[in-house]
Structure formats: structure tokens, C-alpha cells
Chains A and B, each alone.
Chain A
């Protein structure tokens, strides 16, 4: 491996922190979905970096990352469907204006 492992991990940690910031601070529900995709990507990057550095021979980290990508796709599809349904009923997708269930 050409790149030292900690450098990849620092990039992934920064990506994770940016995703957490976006998921906590965005008002727009689609913006929150985008931030969650960033978080999943940082997790995947960690999988691959560790798998490469520890010399796994069967490619298990890559399989796990592929499964994470698939689950992220499923999550994004359902999330966007929910956003569209909410927009149709309430004409807004701001997460702090949707408080039907708040007592």
C-alpha cells in the first residue's frame, strides 16, 4: 500500500464529521439524506483501508462495502419516496416544520 493507513483514516474521519454536521444542521430533508450518504461513504472507506492494510486475502471488506452501497441505495429510495409523499401533503420538506407527531 502506497498511502499510509492513518492518512486514509483521517480523510474518512473528516468525511464522517462533515456528514454528521450536515445531518444535524440541515433543514431540508434531502440535504439530510445527502449527509447520510457521506457518512456511509466514510464507513466504506474505512472498511477498504483496513482490509487493504491488514492484508485480507478473500476480499471480505470489499464485499461488506458493496453490501453497504446496496443498503444505502435502498435507504435513499425509501427516504426520497417519504420526502415526496410529505411534500405532497404539506408543501414543505423542512425537517423542523414537520412536527405532526410532536405532542
Chain B
């Protein structure tokens, strides 16, 4: 990507913060919505937002993969699970367990501490580095990281077989 200057850079930054805020709002809906279906929609917003954040970081292939795998596959699966199991809209079902306040305090401390730490650490940043081209990425996957890639395909096959075995009806 060529060096952007002036108002374009400002607009890109503003767009980043808007997308980040939307992502976090979706994530909050995903963890806090009473209706589990709404939580799934919030998760969709969050996952889509993360895909756009990947675009800001110039990882185009990953953004597309994120949308295909997460929004396309995993989210559909989760919505199926929601539909098949729970009384999603029943307000009598409490959404949180008894340790909700402890969990909130822990998450707040963790989040604020991490944010403070990460924001103030002296990272060595190479500002002039070029984004990775897609052919290079493909070569890296299929040469240096070929073994994890193939192991992942075996893992996915195992997960597929295992999921079918676990979720099928008991042969009575």
C-alpha cells in the first residue's frame, strides 16, 4: 500500500477507531445479551469487525478467511446449536452464574492491566515495512509450515468424525 498522507490518513484512523468501537460493542453483546440469539448476532458483528481490523493491518487473505470460516461456518453452527437446545428468549432463565461479579472484576482488572502494559511498553516498530504479498504467504504455508498445515487437516478430519460420533442418536 502506498504511503497515505494528509486527510486520507486521518480518515483511515477515524475509520479504524469506529470499527474497533463497533467490534467491542458486538463483543459486549455476545457476552452479555440475555437472548442467546442476540448474543450470536453480537458475535457476528464482533467477528466481522475483527475481519475489517485485519484489513487495516493489511492482511487481506486473513480477513477473507476470517469471514468465510468464522462468520460463514462457526457462527452458523453456533446458531444451529442455539436453536436446537435452549429456551433462548425465556427471561426466567438467568444468563449469569453466581460468580458474575467476581468474573467482572477479574476481567476488568485483566483488561485494564493488559491495556496499560501493552500501551506503554517500548515496542520496536519498523514503520516502513511492506505488507506481505499473497504468493509469499502461500509459499510459506506450503513450505516452512507444511507439517502444521497437514496436521491441521488431520485434526479437522478427527474433529469431524468425533463430532458425528458424539452427536448421533444412541443406537437403542
Contacts and interface: CB of A to CB of B under 8 A. Distances in A.
Interface of A: 1-3, 5-11, 13-22, 24-28, 30-31, 33-35, 37-38, 41, 44-45, 48-49, 51-60, 62-63, 65-67, 69-78, 80-85, 87-88, 93-96
Contact of A74 (B31, B97, B155): B155
A37 B93 CA distance: 23
A62 B115 CA distance: 23
A67 B110 CA distance: 26
B89 interface: no
A45 B78 CA distance: 22
Contacts of B85: 30, 83-84, 87, 93
A6 B119 contact: yes
Contacts of A11: 20, 23-24, 53
Contacts of B70: 37, 41, 69, 72
Interface of B: 4, 9, 12-13, 16-17, 20, 23-24, 27-28, 30-32, 36, 39-40, 43, 46-47, 50, 53-54, 56-59, 61-62, 65-66, 69-70, 73-74, 77-78, 80-82, 84-86, 93-100, 102-104, 106-108, 110-112, 114-115, 118-121, 123-132, 136-137, 140-141, 144-145, 148-149, 152, 155-156, 158-160, 162-164, 166-167, 169
B64 to A, nearest CB: 11
A11 to B, nearest CB: 5
B118 A54 contact: no
Contacts of B78: 30, 33-34, 76, 80
A3 B31 contact: no
B167 A81 contact: yes
Contact of B84 (A2, A67, A84, A94): A84
Contacts of A78: 159, 162-163, 166
B111 A14 contact: yes
A93 B93 CA distance: 11
Given A13-B115, A14-B111, 17 more contacts: A5-B125, A15-B23, A20-B107, A34-B78, A52-B59, A52-B131, A57-B132, A59-B136, A62-B61, A66-B62, A67-B152, A72-B74, A77-B77, A78-B159, A80-B77, A81-B166, A81-B167
Contacts of B99: 24-25
A41 B127 CA distance: 24
A41 B103 contact: no
A13 B100 contact: no
Nearest to B119: A6
